[in-house]
Chains A and B, each alone.
Chain A
Amino acid sequence: MTTLQRTVGADVTRVEGHQKVTGTALYAYEYPVPDALYAWAVQSTVPRGRVRAVHAGAALALPGVVAVLDSRNVFRLRPAGDPELAVLQSADVAYRGQIVAAVVADSYETAGQAAAAVRVEYDVDDHDAELTDGDPRIFVPDTVNGGYPGQTETGDVEAALAAAPVVLDATYTTPPEHTSAMEPHATIAVWDEDSLTLYNGDQGPWMTAATLAELFGLPEGAVRVVADHTGGGFGSKAVPRPPTVLAALAARAVGRPVKVAATRQQMFTMVTYRTPTLQRVRLGAERDGRLTAVWHDALQQSSTLAPYCEQTATPTRVMYAARHRRTTHRLAQLDVPTPSWMRAPGEAPGMFALESAMDELAVALGMDPIELRVVNEPSVDPESGHPFSSRNLVACLREGAARFGWAGRDPAPGRRREGRWLVGTGVAASVFPAITWPATATARAEPDGTFTVRIAAADIGTGARTALTQVAADELGVEIDRVTLDIGRSAYGQAPFAGGSMGTSSWGWAVAKACRALAKRLGESAGAVPPGGLEELADTAEDVAARRDFSRHAYGAQFARVRVDAVTGQVRVDRLLGMFAAGRIINPRTAGSQLRGGMCMGLSMALHEGLEVDPRFGDFANHDLATYHIAANADVRDVQAYWLEEDDDELNPMGSKGVGELGIVGTAAAIANAVYHATGVRVRDLPITVERVRAGLPGH
């Protein structure tokens, strides 16, 4: 009998790594589909109104143009939940940048030229694209994204604030932000009678197939989605977006395969963005730091098409103990594109506000910000009352502080100078729920001793393919090289998208269950595999539903060291250190990259990112990678992620929590808090630009 090393927890190199470094990994637009045409979207140039006429003559006269599509000549779709997917179904214009027509041509170049030649006339209505507090149309939604209540209240928060000896009341804003995955949204649509194949940049092939089948009134299974590799998504590819629907509509209209790739400029309005937020946080505390009252209000925007409201104040429901508490979400529906998911929707902007406020309260109390968090550590979930399945926030703060060298920090701001630089350090907490959705998977033993596991998961760079291979190998009790893990195809059955940091937990459970059942059958037959192979199908719907009531979250502590130019106000982040607790880490290599990658995006959120709304046009003035700055290599210096191992039996068979979003939560606050420590300037509005810092520096 051989002793087999368990591979869960091992530093396994990405199974598709060789393909990625040699350029052989195929992304959606790259599948060799013969006879394909190219579609190019025409976007509305007005923020609100109706298309009166589409003049297609000049476009159609160009050699190579096959069709010009608009709302009068495309297939009538059925509603499928998301109104953004009703592409070209109406002449109404809900926002500037909405698809109002499209050109299909025999080359990419001609398609672009012809799209520019399409002339669209509009009846223009007045519009309002500016998010303003006090707008009479603002309302509190019953529920927000994720199914959470729109507001919660415990005790008498106003009376508690009035009675509290120390009160912090501050307003924070975050701008609209864009996912800007490196692979633009791309689709190749191929119809064969009444079945549709989509090669799609996709975080969730099964759910995309189900949605497209609904839109086209097709039976389940008539749409197949192929998404072997996806070049990043960060939420924007979790569900289908308008370019995917356009590809299917165009291919149907012309009777040939059609390729669509959103241009980088189009992506800024076509594939969603993170809502701007205006958040007010009020904290009441005793002089020893114990919170008596917590109030977090978040105002956000959506389009007139859909009341998408993010769960911005929900992290405040779980973070700190306080007897009196209130959280509210308020929404204004404006003449703007529909926002949607971007990495840690809700938590990322929400924790910028809460964790900045906690730092401000620590300053007001003359307390160490770590100690302030420690004295407010709850023993059970402060709002639901449920026990925590595991919670190691305090351990993360303590262990992170030790690694970072926090001890002995002089809390006084603006005192440390290195040449022209002011230096400071800051800390903030991270949190993200540990979500699990049901999934199905099949595990198959082949007569040659190898195994094939299939699940409609997607690896958008998370390392899911590798982690799931590890889970399968351990359950089967075989070496990892005997297992092939096939993902990225809707045909592999029901499975959730790569989002909500739930991929590995959800898919892993189904993979583990299928492999365990297969191993049992193999055990019963003494390992004999019939010529046709052995297969087991697993569905975790009942297992997931049977989970007990627990508050399940991953936590972390982020530390930042910044330098601020005392004259210009420029901020450089010298060091980021994150200490996380996210259950069992299945692959330290890929999990480490996920956490560091989240921290890099958090740094980018802190210093660089922000879409500039032009209220006159209802559009984002910056819509390319030259004007929407995301962190480049030189912006990112020393970034380290560590974790504490947790044993948590209330999660899933792997004991994992998910790390895709945890790393971006809290980073911006840690940096803003460090900027305050360096300079004494409290920046409550992201991004932390030179203008905002300089405005508070002496001499300005």
Chain B
Amino acid sequence: MRGARPGARLSDVTAHAFHSDLTLRVNGADRALTLDHRVTLLDALREHLALTGVKKGCDHGQCGACTVLIDGERVNSCLVFAVAAQGRDITTIEGVAGLAAPEELHPLQRAFLEHDGFQCGYCTPGQICSAIGALTEAARGWPSHVTEDMAAGVGAPADLDAEEIRERMSGNLCRCGAYPGIVAAIREAAGGDGGGAPARAGAGGGVR
């Protein structure tokens, strides 16, 4: 058999010919794994760590369903090999609930429930992780394609209007078409005023 020298060590990954021994830090806990080199972070989480809240929608970085946070940044976990995630701090939807306050739903999770920001729920974990990442980026002032003054960037996340949120969340597809609820939920969680779009998309509005 050819390949890496048996037992070769690279940044705490012990590489064998076809597999590696590694430790992933997921939702605050170290998880020791022996994985085929080809296993993506997505499949490591779903198939090997039973963290099935992370979803596989396309396996090609085209839908965003697999979005997790790596060191606080949103990442398509299908585009990262598990061996490359050693030593990073990985947060999946299963670890989101405790992020803001112990034992409590994250404000974004509450807002998605309140605004019915999902239907089938399959894209939802990725949407929520992506929204956390997007608001973190906004807090740093990072501009988006629709930011008027690219050089100046944006102010606080609360300043993001619906147009900004739609643009920043367009890497996460939702085939059910829950986008109005998703945008309303993120605006609320960001502390935005909810002006413009209907603040409570879930209510739909009946005529009685």
The interface of chain A, by Cβ under 8 A from chain B, is: 11, 13-14, 16-27, 29-30, 32, 63, 107-110, 113, 179-184, 229-232, 234, 261, 263-264, 399, 460-463, 585, 588-601, 604, 624-626, 630-645
**Are A589 and B177 in contact, CB atoms less than 8 angstroms apart?**
no
**Are A183 and B170 in contact, CB atoms less than 8 angstroms apart?**
no
Q: Is B76 an interface residue (CB 8 A)?
A: no
Out of A11, A23, A180, name the residue touching B94 (CB < 8 Å). A23
Chain B residue nearest to A459 in the complex (CB): B120
Out of B55, B166, B198, name the residue touching A633 (CB < 8 Å). B166
Of A14, A22, A229, A644, the most chain B CB neighbours within 10 A belong to A22
List, sorted by A's number, 5 A–B pairs whose CB atoms are closer than 8 Å: A21-B105, A232-B122, A625-B62, A633-B172, A637-B162
Q: Fill in one digit per residue for B28-67: 1 if any A CB lies within 8 Å of its CB, else 0.
A: 0000000010110001001100111111111110110100
With A182-B175, A461-B121, A595-B204 as known contacts, state yes or no: A22 contacts B94, CB within 8 Å: yes
Q: Is the interface of B mostly helix, strand, loop or mixed?
A: loop
Q: Is B124 an interface residue (CB 8 A)?
A: yes
With A21-B113, A596-B177, A633-B169 as known contacts, state yes or no: A181 contacts B120, CB within 8 Å: yes
**Are A626 and B94 in contact, CB atoms less than 8 angstroms apart?**
no
Task: State the Cβ distance, A185 to closest chain B Cβ, in Å.
Answer: 12
Chain B residue nearest to A631 in the complex (CB): B177
**Are A590 and B116 in contact, CB atoms less than 8 angstroms apart?**
yes
List residues of chain A with CB within 8 A of the CB of B46.
29-30
List residues of chain A with CB within 8 A of the CB of B43.
108-109
Chain A residue nearest to B146 in the complex (CB): A634
**Are A645 and B208 in contact, CB atoms less than 8 angstroms apart?**
yes
Out of A20, A110, A264, name the residue touching B124 (CB < 8 Å). A20
- The interface-forming segment of B8-16, B135-143, B147-155, B178-186 is B178-186
Please report the C-alpha to C-alpha distance between residue A232 and residue B169 in the assembled complex, in whole angstroms: 20
With A182-B123, A625-B63 as known contacts, state yes or no: A109 contacts B36, CB within 8 Å: yes
**Are A626 and B60 in contact, CB atoms less than 8 angstroms apart?**
yes
Out of A13, A32, A460, name the residue touching B120 (CB < 8 Å). A460
Out of B47, B54, B116, B173, name the residue touching A23 (CB < 8 Å). B54
**Are A32 and B204 in contact, CB atoms less than 8 angstroms apart?**
no
With A23-B52, A264-B60, A633-B179 as known contacts, state yes or no: A589 contacts B174, CB within 8 Å: no
13 further A-B pairs in the complex, CB-CB below 8 A; given A183-B57, A231-B122: A14-B113, A18-B113, A21-B112, A22-B96, A27-B122, A181-B120, A593-B202, A625-B60, A636-B177, A639-B177, A639-B179, A640-B198, A642-B206
Task: State the Cβ distance, A486 to closest chain B Cβ, in Å.
Answer: 18
Q: Is B4 an interface residue (CB 8 A)?
A: no
Q: Is B207 an interface residue (CB 8 A)?
A: yes
List residues of chain A with CB within 8 A of the CB of B57.
182-184, 264, 625
Please report the C-alpha to C-alpha distance between residue A590 and residue B65 in the assembled complex, in whole angstroms: 22
List residues of chain A with CB within 8 A of the CB of B36.
107, 109-110
Chain B residue nearest to A17 in the complex (CB): B113
| Interface size bracket, B side | 35 or more
**Are B174 and A182 in contact, CB atoms less than 8 angstroms apart?**
yes
Out of A32, A264, A632, name the residue touching B59 (CB < 8 Å). A264
Please report the C-alpha to C-alpha distance between residue A264 and residue B63 in the assembled complex, in whole angstroms: 10
Closest 4 CB pairs of A and B: A23-B53, A592-B204, A600-B177, A231-B122
Please report the C-alpha to C-alpha distance between residue A645 and residue B170 in the assembled complex, in whole angstroms: 35
List residues of chain B with CB within 8 A of the CB of A463.
119
Out of A13, A25, A179, A592, name the residue touching B205 (CB < 8 Å). A592
Out of B47, B92, B175, name the residue touching A234 (CB < 8 Å). B175
List residues of chain B with CB within 8 A of the CB of A108.
43, 47
**Are A630 and B204 in contact, CB atoms less than 8 angstroms apart?**
no
Task: List B residues 103-134 near A (Cβ within 8 Å).
Answer: 105, 109, 112-114, 116, 118-125, 128
Out of B18, B60, B120, B183, name the residue touching A182 (CB < 8 Å). B120
Q: Is B158 an interface residue (CB 8 A)?
A: no
Out of A23, A110, A597, A604, name the residue touching B178 (CB < 8 Å). A597
**Are B116 and A589 in contact, CB atoms less than 8 angstroms apart?**
yes
List residues of chain B with CB within 8 A of the CB of A11.
202-203
**Are A183 and B122 in contact, CB atoms less than 8 angstroms apart?**
yes
Out of B56, B172, B197, name the residue touching A184 (CB < 8 Å). B56
**Are B206 and A643 in contact, CB atoms less than 8 angstroms apart?**
yes
Out of B65, B97, B177, name the residue touching A22 (CB < 8 Å). B97
List residues of chain A with CB within 8 A of the CB of B176.
182, 232, 461, 593, 597
Task: State the Cβ distance, A63 to closest chain B Cβ, in Å.
Answer: 8
List residues of chain A with CB within 8 A of the CB of B59.
263-264
Out of A462, A625, A635, A637, name the residue touching B119 (CB < 8 Å). A462
With A234-B175, A261-B56 as known contacts, state yes or no: A593 contacts B116, CB within 8 Å: yes
Out of B123, B167, B204, name the residue touching A642 (CB < 8 Å). B204
Chain B residue nearest to A399 in the complex (CB): B207
Chain A residue nearest to B97 in the complex (CB): A22
Chain B residue nearest to A579 in the complex (CB): B207
Chain B residue nearest to A32 in the complex (CB): B50
Q: Is B93 an interface residue (CB 8 A)?
A: yes
With A14-B116, A264-B60, A633-B182 as known contacts, state yes or no: A21 contacts B50, CB within 8 Å: no
List residues of chain A with CB within 8 A of the CB of B165.
633
With A592-B201, A593-B178, A595-B204 as known contacts, state yes or no: A624 contacts B120, CB within 8 Å: no
**Are A633 and B183 in contact, CB atoms less than 8 angstroms apart?**
yes
Out of B116, B175, B197, name the residue touching A181 (CB < 8 Å). B175
Please report the C-alpha to C-alpha distance between residue A305 and residue B172 in the assembled complex, in whole angstroms: 36
Of B125, B176, B203, B206, the most chain A CB neighbours within 10 A belong to B176
List residues of chain A with CB within 8 A of the CB of B93.
21-23
Of B50, B174, B175, B182, the most chain A CB neighbours within 10 A belong to B175
